[in-house]
Amino acid sequence: MHISSFEQSNKKKIRGLKKKCRAMVEALIAQTSEFPIDYNSEEYWHYHLPVAQSFIDSKHTPQSVRRLCIQTMIDRTQFLSQHKPKNAKSCRVLCLVCLPDLWSSVITIFSSQNYFIHFFDRNNPWQRWTPLIHKDIAKEYNLIIPSNFQVKSYKHECFDDDNPSIVTYVGEIWAIGELE
């Protein structure tokens, strides 16, 4: 029996999955092992996801790996939140989980309260963030959210620069952390 190449590509196994997952978790832990010293020179500080986009956003990457990535980001956000220096108590630490493009996700430390407040105001001709009400990332991915963290979700839309009536991207942004 002949199987088409399309069917074969959907069943493609990712090679070295355990090694890639272990490296991703270790890199997240390493880059968030200490609260950044020079955080206050900017309005925010962020850590990008230390993993190849071709791996984490692949249609072949199992949901369990994406869950591991998100849960590790939440855990490292909590670690940074708990290890703020005394002069950084007013900073807010959160992770921004982007779906379906998980590679765009970041852990962010906001040192400016004013910047934090206006960060979520994304309604302009080029992009719009609309609150999502009836979705729960914790249930969808079986995540453990610390009790002192809050979760806000947004539908993220980008529009064409030349014709703002044309939508060029639709995704979700999940803010998890010190939101209140």
Listing DSSP states for 17-81 in one string gives HHHHHHHHHHHHHHHTSS--TTGGGSSEEEEE--S-HHHHT-TTS-HHHHHHHHHHHHHHHHHHH
Q: How many CB atoms lie within 10 A of CB 103?
A: 17
Stretch 131-137: mean pLDDT, rounded?
Answer: 90
- According to the model, what pLDDT value does residue 13 have? 65
- Domain boundary assignment for the chain: 15-177
pTM: 0.88
pLDDT of residue 40: 61
pLDDT of 10-51, one tens digit each? Answer: 456 677 889 999 999 999 999 999 998 776 667 899 999 999
Residue 115 CA, chain-centre distance (Å), reads 19
